[in-house]
Structure 1
């Protein structure tokens, strides 16, 4: 048995360290079932400690079912469930005040990670953000730790208003903007304040499930709408009798369709005729590589029927936890009525909000977006070149003009799940697109290949290996 060496023991945590070490050895299999442990006295003598911490450790192990005490025989390791066998004990996290190991669930490692949502943090302006953070959070401003405006900090809402008008063509006032830590929370609020207006939601098919699943849990009926080359089909929408529709016109998820102006105007006319609402999720609107960014649907015409959703997860960092929605004037009073009813406080950190306000006000945010647009443009071109080079006519790329992923469509009798698993075994992460369809799925196999988080020099290697391992399954 591998006992703890004397040099590693901390006086404050003797029994915890002994307990953790023995538990680690049991879970990892070093101490097998029915193995007899050293007696308390012998264990204490070996570690040059008193018997008290060893006895306390043994008691804890008995209480948790790792060992058992047999009269006149000693202490023995008991059989564990398979759940413990699946835990990875090789990684140890050291805290600042303790050397105690922490269990971590085993996670797959990918050499070529084409995750659809990851972004490149290499160029995040850490020093600038820290400088502004220190400016916001100082001993004289400790009141910032209390709740702020539940609608979002006024200064940040003003900066978002200016940014949206200048870069996305959104027309709104600061009073129209509601800030939240999670998009899910904002959509949930939206579902609550629209309940009296309609009990059903029309959505693109395929679509990102966050919007429609949140509405569904709020009690809405979901109507999947077919797509064509221009996006959601207006004819099907009119036939559905829905009065609320969710779309992503700037870069449809996951297909990547950019909705033409004629289709956008048709949907705006529909909303006016039925007194309905369009939820515009501006996914990937900032990152367009072949032409200039497409202006938002919300700003096309003077209209009071479009709800605009946006956030800073893709353009800055997810952990900042700042999302927002732009409400039409007619919905603002309903939002405040609901907010007061549930006594809702602000969900997004005031510290991050104020830091982001300064970051936007001094021009750093605009510079960061320009920089990242160039970074992602290079990765986008590298990915398209690699797919053409390796797959040639064995694959079709869909939705390559914007966003942080493309759809790779191939012909194969193998299922998307099997092909994904084969890629995973070789250290490649791609995601099947099937899960984003609400009913019928396309006959061909489609995979979401993200390029935001992977290093530029790994893209060609990863696509080359993916083609190599998939070649026997391609038609």
Structure 2
């Protein structure tokens, strides 16, 4: 049923019934009310708007006479289908998108190589429903939650992170937030009290860079080498804070070596600086032994660890977390004492139960196995259909690769060619400070949300349109 909330004024010189009539008429013509939608009953709308039933009835009768609505006996009033010509401003976007922003463009893609998609067929819906239904029986679940996140979830996270990533922390050090960007924003406000700039990887995660810039921090790009961020450049930069993705560098896929990790920790001690370690998809490693998190190697409280459930579980849940050094807790609490938690308490409690019962570990093992198979299918398809025309970068972990295309075509041209075939691929130019220095265009291909047939077909079609 439609909700109707017009602004009705007694002093504007127009009868109330006419104001209500004009409001509903305009909403219909603008396409905000759809054909066959039911209007509130005369009694309910009169009660809601605090006006007489006669006033509402007069408005409805006028709309009825002009054909905007119809009366169905014993059922009520319904919106009529109107001519398209009347819908002058039908369903317009409330805010125009920038011309350069095509991320919301409506195209019916046949295959989408999105770098962060998950396979919906693998979602453990039965186990998640069990946990969600169980926590709903607890009445306290509907109260305000703890500002740092529910203790039940933070306890499970501390246990899970220690055994899966070697993170050493107590539940008191964990802060839960609605996405990594939101947590980075909180850190920016803390760091701005004593620092004005931050070092980031080049290329690097644009989502983090934008957060830093939007909070007024200067950003200094540091080159990424074959084994991780350049420590020599970092030292020369004179920054005391650095944001990195060491377990699977975004977007190159480079894994920071253990030697370089120790160099970074030494740098942090010498400068009394901090390392922001974004461990966004460390669950998915396919080659070699896993390297413990930087935080687990840190004995001097110089690492702030960030993680998320967006890649391993679901981005719709909006649950991320950070592990603060104990030395930062008082500063954090002093600044954010009056801030409410941004993640649903219901989801937090359900997730805590989901982890406690072993569902998360089982789910990650399953998707890791299937993603390994998809990765093999992807690499074989690239080798078969593209051969020496491309180089694969960053294939050892994660749910995406970079495909270096050995052509003189621009990145945008390759993306548009793929689009014509209804295949969506993604640029990497936004991640570089100076993309012009790159020899060949690099296209980002995600495989986590596709099945094996789609992966093979997508690579085959791309090979035909790119190398014809």
TM-score range, shorter chain: 0.7 to 0.9
2: CA distance, partners of 1:54 / 1:250: 68
Aligned to 1:332: 329
Gap runs ≥5 in structure 2: 1-20, 35-59, 70-81, 94-103
Deviation at 1:78, TM superposition (A): 6.9
Aligned counterparts, 1:110-149, within 5 A: 110-138=109-137, 141-149=138-146
Aligned counterparts, 1:215-364, within 5 A: 215-340=212-337, 343-364=338-359
- Deviating 4+ runs (over 3 angstroms): 14-24, 49-52, 75-85
2: CA distance, partners of 1:334 / 1:439: 37
What TM-score, normalized by structure 2, do the two folds share? 0.80
Aligned to 1:192: 189
Q: 1:398 aligns with which of 393, 397, 406?
A: 393
CA 1:296–1:156 in 2, change beyond 3 Å: closer, same or farther?
A: same
Q: Does the residue aligned with 1:431 lie in a helix, a strand or coil?
A: coil
Aligned to 1:209: 206
Aligned to 2:366: 371
Q: Does the aligned pair in 2 maintain the 1:184–1:210 contact within 8 Å?
A: yes
Deviations 1:420-447 (A, max 9, x none): 0110111111101111112344121100
Please say if 1:172 is aligned against 2:169: yes
Greater shift in the superposed pair: 431-440 or 174-183: 431-440
2: CA distance, partners of 1:453 / 1:16: 44
What TM-score, normalized by structure 1, do the two folds share? 0.79
How many residues align? The count is 398
Deviation at 1:457, TM superposition (A): 1.5
Aligned to 2:150: 153
Q: Does the aligned pair in 2 maintain the 1:201–1:212 contact within 8 Å?
A: no
Q: Does the residue aligned with 1:147 lie in a helix, a strand or coil?
A: coil
2: CA distance, partners of 1:414 / 1:209: 24
Please say if 1:445 is aligned against 2:445: no
CA 1:54–1:370 in 2, change beyond 3 Å: closer, same or farther?
A: farther
Aligned to 1:454: 450
Gap runs ≥5 in structure 1: 1-13, 28-48, 59-66, 68-74, 86-104
Greater shift in the superposed pair: 352-361 or 289-298: 289-298
2: CA distance, partners of 1:199 / 1:16: 51
Q: Does the aligned pair in 2 maintain the 1:432–1:446 contact within 8 Å?
A: yes
Q: Does the aligned pair in 2 maintain the 1:19–1:57 contact within 8 Å?
A: no
Q: Does the aligned pair in 1 maintain the 2:29–2:90 contact within 8 Å?
A: no
1: CA distance, partners of 2:313 / 2:85: 50
Deviation at 1:196, TM superposition (A): 2.5
Q: Does the aligned pair in 1 maintain the 2:429–2:435 contact within 8 Å?
A: no
Q: For the aligned residues, what is the CA RMSD? A: 2.7
Q: Does the aligned pair in 1 maintain the 2:109–2:422 contact within 8 Å?
A: yes
